[in-house]
Amino acid sequence: MMLCFLFAALIVALDQFFKQWVLRTLSIGEAGPEIIPGVLGLTRWENDGAMLNILSGQQWLLAGIAFIAAIALIMILLRYNEGFWGTLGLAAVLGGTVGNLVDRILNEGRVVDMFRTLFITFPIFNIADIFITLGFLTFLVHFIILTIKTEKPEKTVSAVPELVSFEQDADDSETESDSESDFIADIDAAVAEASNIDLSQPVVPLEDDYSAFLGDDVTTDTTPDISFTMESLESDLGDLEDYNIDDILREYGLENDESKV
């Protein structure tokens, strides 16, 4: 972070050094040597407006705007951590802004310009203007690239996961149903065993309670008249996870006690 502020300070120093050289060397409007023949030359000029002569004559208004902009840029740089080029661009804008602000404070609200294009007609500008422009463009390009990289592709909706989920739910339902059936079958078998009934033989129910006098030739059904379903068990006992089959038989008086005659 300190490097970006050092970079901004170097821009201010370079800008002010070159401006002071122009002030001592050239008079207002005087043309100097060509820096790049046919492309860029020197001409001293003092601008009481902003870049491209915007708000000309509003020196102190522009000085106030520059001061607020410099404070805002410092606050942004203290918090900005989105990459080297973005930070470098903001630091360049800060350096150029402070460079022109120093001019307005020391030169009665006017900014010293000196670079003149020779191949086209363009307003005269200075080093601070160059860094403001290049810094803004660098930050803008970096911001656009960063935005493109961080954009996530839209999620496509597929019906396949829903179909798989539906099939899985159906399988789970069938498994649960089979488990309930097995549980009821186990209880029925336990009841039959507790009642000494051979499930492989047909059972002939008696119409009255006089089976004891009819002898051993008649097969009697001594199974209590209990119809077991998951609903009836849960209605009577509550949560079946707290019971095993022996507990359920005892609740209905059907415990398989081998000691009984």
Active-site residues: which are they?
Answer: 113, 129
Instruction: Please measure the distance between the N-terminal and C-terminal CA atoms of the chain and give it in whole angstroms.
Output: 95
Give the residue carrying structure tokens 């200075």: 126
Tokens (6 digits) for 253: 């008086």
Q: Kindly report the CA angle at 27 between 53 and 130, in degrees rounded to 5?
A: 40
Centroid of chain to Cα 239: 43
Say if CB 112 and CB 25 are below 8 A apart: no
CA 213 – CA 208 distance, rounded (Å): 11
Residue 112 φ then ψ, to 5°: -85, 125
Joined together, the tokens standing for residue 163 give 């179909």
